[in-house]
A and B are shown apart, each in its own frame.
Chain A
Amino acid sequence: MKRRHFLQLGGFALAGGLVRTPWLPTVARAVNGESAERGPILVVLVMQGGNDGLNTVVPYRDSVYYYHRPNLAVPRADVLPLTDDSGLHPALAPLTEFWDSGDLAVLRGVGYPNMNLSHFRSTDIVWSASGADRSVPSGWLARWLEGRYVGFPETLPAEPMALQQGFAAALPLQGELGVTGVVVDNPASFQALVGRTFTGEFEDLLGVDPGDELLRRVREIDAASFAYASAVSSAAETGANRVSYPHGHIGDQLATIARLVDGDLGTPVYLASLGSFDTHAAQPSAHRNLLASFANAVNAFFRDLKAMGRADDVVLLTVSEFGRRVHENASAGTDHGTAAPWFAIGRPVLGGVYGSAPDLETLDPAGNLLVEMDYREVYASFLRTWFGTPRDEVDRVLLGDYGELPIVTSHPSNPSDPEDPGDPEDPDDPGDPGDPEYPGDPGGPSEPLPPHITRVGIQSVSPNPGGRNRTVVFDLPAPAEVRLELFDARGRRLRTFLDASLPAGRHQQASDLGRLAEGLYFLRLVAGGETRTKTVVVR
């Protein structure tokens, strides 16, 4: 393993501990040109202990669910329906506004083959993106970050590549070459803490290296805290929360993350955690409170980001090591299970329900659900689309080739995809559309403004599923600049149907999708700073 040489960072390490160097990250940033552009950010929120998926996204029309959960089932009347076959636990009410605006993706039946029912092993698997049959000592995000920052670990980026809040597990940020991020509980005071206790780079001053790998690692941690302290603390000082967060651990973590985002910390990955989902006993109240803490904190987080004008830059993904047994146990709880739903939330997320409803009549011998969706497909979707990572790099990070799901758009800062030459069999697909067409009639208000239009929304796409000709109906509560665009599953823009200034009211837009391969596409409406997305199925 190569050693880090902090001296390469403009010689600051030589002065490390001798003088404070608050200028350093700024200088490094300016050199890197990073401050000019805001990149995509992923927040991974882990629900530790194994979240009960069936009581989170409830199959409220399935009588088998009510048969298996005589004491624990969420009453049908309490469920917040999303679709005909699934709805949210009532404690997740703060998430419904994201559903309404197309910013909540529900990924059903997430897991991996032969799921391991040990918390510890399964958590390792999910963090390392490995399978049940293989133990990998590095985290998937860390492997990705190592590939993204060429030069690591010999040189460190000016800002931490990842920042972990609220829990101390080492695997998520453990790369193949080194530790790729920092754990910081209180960013605002971090620099003061480090400044008071950091002593200097003793090995590098005279090139003394005792050849002790463990000691070298401790020194790396020591040096990393110093290297990032100023950047983290100044972002925390610059940034400010615009809304108040619910009292509690997860609210504190998300408030901190939002504050750092607002302070323009160039960190692309944040980790947060909420614990105690291991509800073997007395589940109803405990689970309800956990879901409420989660939903309230997430609601505040995205309201905050919106107020900061950063809602287009951040997506949040929930993960959990497994779901829980279909049949409840005698202690009003549930034992360890397998597949469970995960959530992806944020304006760039393409809202909807993905994967089929849990099949409660086809269980494994232990009485657990079968896996519908490999969790690595979810990771692949974020790496590939949201971060614009080349496919072979995604394969390297995820230790295999996994398909993607159309759950998120590409961040505007991503370079256009050099791998995409367009669909050679589709003359209407020019690949990356540099020069969008404006087909169709922008139309006008086809009906007077009904009194109930209070928000931007896509009312319908019809027919859906269907062929190339569709009619899109959408609402504008006020006059706005409007764009109506079609994206493919990877977040590439294929068509622009509308780019015009329109009055308030309900509008109807005839749209020719062109010849498209069968599959899922996404219609996005951008109006007055708001974005709405609707899934379009082409048959």
Chain B
Amino acid sequence: MGGTFPATILGRIQSQLSVQTVNSTPGQDFMGPIESHARGEPSPSVQFASLEGRPASAWPETGPWTRLPAAPIERLPMSRGLSAAMLRGLSAAVPFVLAVLVCLAFFLAGAARAEDVGLPVTPSQPHGWAPYSGDFGVDEAAHLLRRTVIGPRFAEVREAESAGLAVTIDRLFTRHEVEEPGDWVNEPFPDWWALTQAQRDSVQRVMNARQKVLRLWWCENIATGPPDLTETMTLFWHDHFATAMRDVQIPQSMYIQQALFRKHALGNFRAILNAIIRDPAMLIWLDGRWNIASDPNENFARELFELFTMGEGTGYTQEDISEAARALTGWMTDGVDTWFASWAHDDGEKTILGETGRFGAAEVVEILLRQPETSELLAGKLYRWFLSSEPAPEDVAALAAQLRDADYEIAPVLRTLLSSAAFFDPAYRGSLVKSGVEIYAGALRSFEVDNFDPGVYDLQARFVLAEMTDFGQILFDPPDVSGWPGHLQWLNTQTLPKRKFYLDALINGRFERAPLAMGIKVLDVVNQFRDPNDPEQIVDDLALLWFGQAPTELIRQTMLETLLQGAEPYDWSIELPDARKRLEDLFRFVVRVPEGQLK
């Protein structure tokens, strides 16, 4: 195909690339969120700017984690627990909460979920869950890591290939620990009513700064962590029990929830549910703390049924919701600790899904776990997350049955899925859309971006936080309680060019015309390839790493021509003086190709 390719067209593609290269250099227009503040108003797409009520171009220094102001809080009077009225007062007293409420509309997509919109829904034929017995070559290793690790490196793909499927799966199921973002995560939340206005302002400033720290801390963990399922499954639970910091506000609460997801990342769904019904962030987010016997608040009960366990339209009634809300009454939180207040609990008899008793929260969890719909919802979600957006109902049912048999242990079910013949069916290569995190944090990891230290480099912090916003995936801030819609909804005419723009900036190592102090290390990436001195091998391995499958012949030829720039293949060497520049041109082209959006 390459021989028949019209030279003129290739030449034009090349010239376009070089034009774009020039455009990408400093001094050219930056069309990102910062420019949109030319009018002095915050961009709707920059949530953090709105959080603070000022333009993003005037962001405060984030500073390293360790230098965060913590002192004012420690000297403040503490309260063991805030009453409901106090916490209500908190929301009313902090004006910026309202600004946040208004500004988050952008993220409250709220409408359709991936399974409702997008491609015509044609569930694939049932394939069963027979284990994979074919070759575990570099293609299979790449597929497995691209679906389980956010941003796998090519060296890791080669290690997986040589270790074999069974060992690689075992490694993936090893959970890694991370350091806390700071001692403040255990700090009690102050008694708001005992504070002066100046103290409240100070607490608010500290909270704002710590919220950013938390988002970047997770991003850094993803970008630098070992290649296992910990970060992916933590994100899975964050998406499933979607809780937004813009409402919860208290960064300690969000960290406590995150720690819960990390601890149970590959654990038991029953344990996660029992923890989530007394999770401070969740009790704040879904108003569980307002849910008292004399006047129940249904919000938590409804989402518990609709989104966390059974799923919408699976036969429960409004009456079931109201009764479950009564059973869930009495759990109180101060944002850090949770306690059960018997005075607020409705101890009477309730009837939920046909069962009657003087139920509390734990019994509600057991009743929900007994419903087959709960296992099917979870199995279906794992299927869509790891394998395909169009599962066959029979396959989900079989996975759900295994989940019930395993008493809701996640790891055995996930192991079945990831080592199945179906998972390695070539038809599933490139059948999912990469999430926002897989672009912004995944590229940092895949492409050997070192020196990512947003605690030290303010520009890096602003850059990554801005792109989280632009891609529609701000960590700790899902659009609503149903999580991120996902799949094709990651992409639209706005987010797709923004993704390419981000990757372009990483290749150039510049953002807002200023050096980022980090960038894609093309030589380090290519030196992991099977033969960095063979242009064809570079092209194929880069395609495998970023596209996950062989590109069309046209794209492959363009990649090759971009790398060689008129020279013969045998003239290429990774030691050439301009090798890095040529490789950067190659990467610049590759990250613009639509194939790179899929995994």
Q: Which residues of A contact B (CB under 8 A)?
A: 1, 15, 17-19, 48-49, 116-121, 123-124, 127, 135, 137, 164-172, 174, 179, 182-186, 188-190, 192-200, 202-203, 205-206, 208, 210, 212-215, 217-219, 221-222, 224-225, 228, 247-250, 252-253, 273-276, 280-282, 285-286, 289-290, 293, 329-333, 335-336, 365-366
Contacts and interface: CB of A to CB of B under 8 A. Distances in A.
Contacts of B79: none
Contacts of A188: 36
B483 to A, nearest CB: 10
A225 B113 CA distance: 23
A120 B111 contact: yes
Contacts of B504: 196-197
Given A196-B31, A196-B501, A273-B108, A185 B494 contact: yes
Contacts of B103: 248-249
Interface in B1-47: 1, 5, 9, 12-13, 15-17, 20, 23-24, 28-29, 31-33, 35-36, 41-45
Given A193-B31, A206-B553, 14 more contacts: A19-B12, A48-B110, A137-B116, A167-B107, A174-B112, A188-B36, A202-B558, A214-B430, A225-B494, A247-B42, A248-B103, A249-B103, A249-B105, A331-B287
Contacts of A333: 287, 290, 297
A171 B111 contact: yes
Contacts of A273: 105-106, 108
Given A48-B108, A217-B118, A117 B318 contact: yes
B16 A120 contact: no
Contacts of A253: 44
Given A174-B117, A281-B290, A335-B297, A198 B592 contact: yes
Contacts of A222: 496, 594
Interface in B283-307: 286-287, 290, 292, 294-299, 302, 306
A125 B105 CA distance: 19
Point out which of B91, B504, B553 has the most chain A C-beta atoms below 10 A from its C-beta.
B91
Contacts of A332: 88
11 contacts: A166-B105, A170-B489, A202-B554, A202-B594, A210-B552, A228-B493, A249-B50, A275-B102, A281-B297, A286-B101, A335-B297
Contacts of A289: 98, 101-102
Given A120-B482, A121-B312, A202-B554, A276 B102 contact: yes
B13 A193 contact: no
Interface residues of B, number: 98
B58 interface: no
A233 to B, nearest CB: 10
B313 interface: yes
B105 A331 contact: no
Contacts of A200: 13, 16
Contact of A208 (B110, B433, B553): B553
A212 B552 CA distance: 11
Nearest to B284: A281
A419 B430 CA distance: 50
A168 B489 contact: yes
Shortest 6 CB-CB contacts between residues of A and residues of B: A330-B295, A275-B105, A331-B290, A169-B111, A189-B31, A197-B500
Point out which of A121, A135, A249, A332 has the most chain B C-beta atoms below 10 A from its C-beta.
A249
Contacts of B306: 118, 120
Contacts of A293: 102
A274 B105 CA distance: 5
Given A183-B493, A329-B290, A206 B554 contact: yes
A180 B569 CA distance: 44
A290 B120 CA distance: 37
Contacts of B98: 285-286, 289
Contacts of B318: 117, 365-366
B555 A202 contact: yes
A179 B102 CA distance: 28
Given A221-B496, A252-B41, A48 B287 contact: no
Contacts of A247: 41-42
Contacts of B110: 48-49, 119-120, 123, 167, 169, 275
A120 B479 CA distance: 12
Contact of A221 (B23, B298, B493): B493
Contacts of A192: 29, 31
Contact of B492 (A183, A206, A329): A183
Given A217-B118, A329-B295, A120 B113 contact: yes
A329 B552 contact: no
A218 B44 contact: no
Contacts of B488: 170, 214, 217
Contacts of B431: 214
Contact of A168 (B119, B433, B472): B472
Contact of A218 (B5, B24, B433, B592): B433
Contacts of B112: 120, 123-124, 127, 169-171, 174
Given A196-B501, A253-B44, A273-B108, A221 B593 contact: no
Given A169-B110, A192-B29, A205-B9, A118 B494 contact: no
Contacts of A182: 492-494
A15 B592 CA distance: 16
A335 B312 contact: no
Contact of B552 (A165, A208, A330): A208
Contacts of B296: 329-330
B288 to A, nearest CB: 10
B263 interface: no
B116 A225 contact: no
A333 B306 CA distance: 21
B195 interface: no
A347 to B, nearest CB: 26
Given A212-B430, A221-B492, A275 B111 contact: no
A214 B119 contact: yes
Contact of A214 (B298, B433, B497, B554): B433
Given A218-B433, A219-B594, A222-B496, A174 B118 contact: yes
A285 B90 CA distance: 12
Contacts of B231: none
A279 B330 CA distance: 21
B104 interface: yes
B117 A203 contact: no
Contacts of A165: 44
Contacts of B92: 282, 285
Contact of B593 (A135, A199, A329, A365): A199
A197 B118 contact: no
A252 B497 contact: no
B587 interface: no
Contacts of B9: 205
B275 to A, nearest CB: 22
Contacts of A17: 13, 16
B485 interface: yes
B529 to A, nearest CB: 22
Contact of A120 (B88, B99, B312, B495): B312
Given A250-B105, A252-B43, A196 B20 contact: yes
B473 to A, nearest CB: 10
A185 B41 CA distance: 14
A493 to B, nearest CB: 38
A183 B494 contact: yes
Interface in B465-520: 472, 479-480, 482, 485, 488-489, 491-498, 500-501, 504
A203 B552 contact: yes
A139 to B, nearest CB: 9
A168 B496 contact: no
B109 interface: yes
B70 interface: no
Contacts of B31: 186, 189-190, 192-193, 196
B430 A117 contact: no
Contacts of B589: 199
Given A171-B111, A208-B553, A137 B121 contact: yes
